[in-house]
Structures are given as structure tokens and as C-alpha cells.
């Protein structure tokens, strides 16, 4: 089928209207009329070919919400009219041990929602488009209590922090959590931490963010990471840290904030190697862990919990005409806290 979208054509990263073909709905597929799509920092990396793997033209977008318009004959659990979402992955082998354990996000054969190559050889195009056709395995149900626009970033930003928080026991009430970086991922990590009864400390290079962290997001504490006195005063004070900063930095000072046997989960993807000094690791028996998105089982669990606790992203809606301006602001971190494209426009 012919679909209208918005693509970056080269390393300038500038987006322009783009007409392309999607497959017709197959027996295992769900077709979705896209209403909203969040704008992730990863979109910038791919559009500008920061990682050297972009296939142009690239249609970004992996924080997609919309409404089902067609379901395949083999599909159960979804009907026309359902409110649904699609995140970072649209295909996996579904037959390996990881897939059988509902850890398909680590399958060797995962295919990303955009800039991936499906098993039929076609290139994937993402949610900066009016229609999406996806295998039903990789579609999540959006609870009725969540608005589709503010829920969209949960499909990437939300699950990216929720998965390691669950994996490392960070959702247990009474613990202490440090959140490094107060952007799209960081503000959701703060919300999760507060919802599950943790003492949450925001760690940022920007003193100007203290007010919004404490008053807007109800963080319990705030540390300016460039202030050595503040950092030293909080030595060995945190059980866990989620590091959401997508730029090169050293993990050493952050590790010193962890208690003995504390865990730092790295969820961002800087385009240069991060610094990992050995002393803060070995003198505190600390662990550094990585995590990429989450499984569909975790994604649905996260969305259902967000529905129960009324957790949504703080967003700024932009029209399709404003995508390039929003991308420029995103590159400057000038957003509180996630841009979401109103793909559906007046038809919502």
C-alpha cells in the first residue's frame, strides 16, 4: 500500500515529505492508523548517521500510538478500533531460547522499527508516517485511561527505563534511586521511582533543572554532578542508578554514589565510548549493566502499570510541519520532556 510519511534523505538530517510502499496486511499482521509518534534522541542519531549505519531515506519513529484498522486472519487479541502502540522492535525469530523466554528484545535476529531489514528483505520505515503494518506479536494495547499522545513515548523512553528497573529490583518500595539526566528517559524514571515508593535523586550537570526536578516531578533530592562537594556528600548513598545521558561521560563519579553492591544501569547510547575507571567498581563491588528496550511482555506490563498509576510522559505536541524545528530543539535538549508529532492532525 502507498503510505505518506516524513523521511531524512541524507546526513543533514532534515526531514521532508516522503511517499513509500508498505506491505499489505498479512495473516499475522495488524494495520494501524498512526495518531501520534514520539521523537526520540535515537531518531537524531540515525537521521544524521552518527553511528554510520543509516540507510537513506530513513523514516524514523519508534514511539507510535494509533488505532487498529485491519487485523490478519491469524491474529487474536486485537480488533479494529483498538488503541495500540508499537515500540522499537517489529520482528524477531520467535523460535530461539530468548524468544521463548519472552526476551525477544535480545534475539540475534531482531529487526528495528526503522532502519532495519525484515526477513523478506524489505527495509523498515517507522512511525513518522500515517500508517504502520506490524506483526501482531509486536503490538501493545494502550489502556483506556492513558491518552494516546502522552502515552506514545512510553513505547521507547518508558520501557527503556522500566525494563532494567524491574530486572535489578529497583521497583521495591523503600529503596533509593539515582536518575542521571533529566530528559525524555530520565523524567519517566523519576515518575516510576516515585510511583513505586523509592527515594529518588536526580543527578544533572544543569543546576537550572533543580526546581523542575523537585517541584514538577517531586524528586526527593538533586545533585549537580559537576559540583564535587555535592557529589562527595552523597557518596555511598544510593542503591541503584539509571544513567540516561546520551553523551560521552565518565561513570567513575556516578559509581561512587552507589552503596556497596549497588547497580548502575546504562540505557543511553553515546556515540563515543564512556569512561569506566576500575577503582570505583572494585572498591564497592558495584555492577554496571546495560539494557536495550524491553520485551513485549514487559512492555504490556509497564503500560498496564502506567494505566493504574496514571503515569504519562510530559510532552510538547508538534505538527508534521514543525518536525524539523522540533529536531533542532531536541538536539539542544530544549524540550520538557518529549516532543510528540500529531500525525493524525485534525482527524483525531
The kind and range of the H/E element at 91 are strand 89-91
CA distance 124 to 255: 38
Please name each of the domains of the chain with its CATH number: 2-156+314-342 (3.90.180.10), 158-290 (3.40.50.720)
Q: Binning pLDDT at 50, 70 and 90, where does residue 347 land?
A: very low
pLDDT tops 70 at residue 348 = no
CA distance 222 to 191: 15
Contact 106, 98 (CB under 8 A): yes
The conformation of residue 24, written as its DSSP 8-state character, comes to: P
Task: Write the pLDDT tens digit of every residue in 248-268.
Answer: 999 999 999 999 999 999 999
Query: What span, in angstroms and rounded, lies between the C-alpha atoms of 18 and 58?
Result: 10
pLDDT in tens, 211-246: 999 999 999 999 999 999 999 999 999 999 999 998
What does pLDDT average to over the chain? Answer: 96
Instruction: Report the distance separating Cα 284 and Cα 287, nearest Å.
Output: 9
CA 88/CA 138 separation, integer angstroms: 9
The one-character DSSP state at 212 is: I
pTM of the prediction?
0.94
Going by the DSSP 8-state scheme, the letter that residue 129 receives in this structure is B
pLDDT digits 0-9 by tens, 16-37: 999 999 999 999 999 999 999 9
Question: What are 62-112's pLDDT values in tens digits?
Answer: 999 999 999 999 999 999 999 999 999 999 999 999 999 999 999 999 999
DSSP state letter for 293: S
C-beta separation of 173 from 198 below 8 A: yes
Average pLDDT, integer, range 192-202: 97
CB 310 within 8 A of CB 287: no
pLDDT digits (tens, 9 = 90+) for 282-333: 999 999 999 999 999 999 999 999 999 999 999 999 999 999 999 999 999 8
Q: Look at residue 346 and tell me whether its pLDDT is greater than 60.
A: no
Q: What is the mean pLDDT of residues 329-345?
A: 93
Q: Please tell me the distance from the alpha carbon of residue 348 to that of residue 338, in angstroms, as a whole number.
A: 20
Amino acid at each position: 500500500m502507498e503510505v505518506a510519511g516524513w523521511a531524512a534523505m541524507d546526513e543533514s538530517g532534515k526531514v521532508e515529505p516522503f511517499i513509500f510502499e508498505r506491505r499489505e496486511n498479512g495473516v499475522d499482521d495488524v494495520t494501524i492508523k498512526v495518531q501520534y509518534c514520539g521523537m526520540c534522541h535515537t531518531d537524531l542519531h540515525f537521521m544524521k548517521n552518527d553511528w554510520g549505519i543509516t540507510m537513506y531515506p530513513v523514516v524514523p519513529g519508534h514511539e507510535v500510538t494509533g488505532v487498529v484498522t485491519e487485523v490478519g486472519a491469524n491474529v487474536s487479541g486485537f480488533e479494529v478500533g483498538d488503541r495500540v502502540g508499537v515500540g522499537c522492535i517489529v520482528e524477531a525469530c520467535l523460535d530461539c531460547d530468548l524468544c521463548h523466554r519472552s526476551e525477544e528484545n535480545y534475539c540475534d535476529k531482531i529487526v528495528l522499527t526503522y532502519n532495519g531489514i525484515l526477513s523478506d528483505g524489505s527495509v523498515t520505515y517507522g512511525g513518522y508516517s500515517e500508517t504502520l503494518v506490524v506483526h501482531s506479536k509486536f503490538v501493545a494495547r494502550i489502556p483506556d485511561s492513558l491518552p494516546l499522545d502522552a502515552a506514545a513515548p512510553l513505547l521507547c523512553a518508558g520501557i527503556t527505563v522500566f525494563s532494567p528497573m524491574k530486572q535489578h529490583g529497583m521497583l521495591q518500595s523503600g529503596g533509593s534511586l539515582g536518575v542521571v539526566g533529566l530528559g525524555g528517559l530520565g523524567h519517566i524514571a523519576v515518575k516510576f521511582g516515585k510511583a513505586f515508593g523509592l527515594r529518588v535523586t536526580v543527578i544533572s550537570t544543569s543546576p537550572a533543572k533543580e526546581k523542575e526536578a523537585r517541584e514538577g516531578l517531586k524528586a526527593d533530592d538533586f545533585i549537580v554532578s559537576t559540583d564535587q562537594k555535592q557529589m562527595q556528600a552523597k557518596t555511598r548513598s544510593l542503591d541503584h542508578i539509571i544513567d540516561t545521558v546520551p553523551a560521552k561521560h565518565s561513570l567513575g563519579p556516578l559509581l561512587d554514589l552507589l552503596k556497596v553492591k549497588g547497580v548502575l544501569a546504562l540505557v543511553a547510547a553515546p556515540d563515543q565510548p564512556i569512561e569506566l575507571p576500575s577503582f570505583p567498581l572494585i572498591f564497592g563491588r558495584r555492577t554496571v549493566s546495560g539494557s536495550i528496550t524491553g520485551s513485549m511482555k514487559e512492555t504490556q506490563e509497564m503500560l498496564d502499570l502506567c494505566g493504574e498509576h496514571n503515569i504519562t510522559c510530559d510532552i510538547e505536541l508538534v505538527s508534521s510541519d514543525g518536525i524539523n524545528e522540533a529536531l533542532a530543539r531536541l538536539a539542544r535538549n530544549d524540550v520538557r520532556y518529549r516532543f510528540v508529532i500529531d500525525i493524525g492532525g485534525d482527524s483525531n
